[in-house]
Amino acid sequence: MCNTLHNTPIKRTEEILMFFEEFKLGQRFQCDPILMTSEEIADFATKYDPQPIHVDKEYAENSMFNGIISSGFLTLSKMWGQWIRLNKLGEEFIVGKGLDYVKFTAPVRKNDVLYTEVEVVNSTPTSNPSRGKVTLKFTMTNQYEEVVLLTEITVLLKTKESSNTKQLVTV
C-alpha cells in the first residue's frame, strides 16, 4: 500500500460519513500511514515556518537535532489531512471549534513514516438537538513507535435528527 504513504485525493462515499450519534466514547480509528518528504518539509517551511532548523541544512546539522526537522505545523496539518481522508467527517461536520492542546513530543524528519490513531474521548449533546460535540484525541507515532505528536481536537457534528428534519444548522 505504498500509495497510502503520500497525500491521496479524498474519496467521499456517503455511507461512511458519520453523524454525531455514531461516534462512541473509546472508539478508535487508524489513519493510513503517511510519508514525510524532504520536499514537503522545505516547501511548507518556506511558506509558513522559515526558521533555520527547518530550511538551513548546515545550521540544522550543527544543531542539537543533527539535521533538518519538520515544522510542527506541517506535522499537525499532515495528521489532520490523513484523518479527513479516512472519510469519517464530511457534510456531517459543522465546524472545528479548536484544539485543546498540541504537544510536539519528538522531532519528525524526512522519510519518517507517520501513523495516526484517533480516539473518541468525549461526546456531548448540545442544547441544539441538531448538533453534538465530539472530542478526538490524536496520537501520531513514527516508524520507531515513538510518539511525535499528541493533540485533542473538538468538532461540532450534525445529528441524525438534523439530517431527518433537514433543519438548518447555525453556529
Query: In the complex, which residues of this chain contact a second copy (CB under 8 A)?
Result: 7, 9-10, 12, 44, 46-53, 59, 64, 71-74, 76-78, 80-81, 84-85, 89-91, 93-104, 168-171
Whole-number Å distance between alpha carbons of 147 and 150: 8
Whether 143 contacts 109, CB under 8 Å: no
- Residue closer to a second copy, measured from CB, 26 or 57: 57
Q: Which is nearer to a second copy, 91 or 117 (CB)?
A: 91
DSSP symbols for 74-104? HHHHHHHHHHHHTTS-STTEEEEEEEEEEEE
If the CB atoms of residues 14 and 145 are measured against a second copy, the closer one turns out to be 14
Contact 92, 134 (CB under 8 A): no
CB of 111 to a second copy, least distance (A): 18
* Residue among 27 and 73 whose Cβ is closer to a second copy: 73
| Min separation Cβ 28 and a second copy, Å | 21
Distance CA 171, CA 156 (A): 9
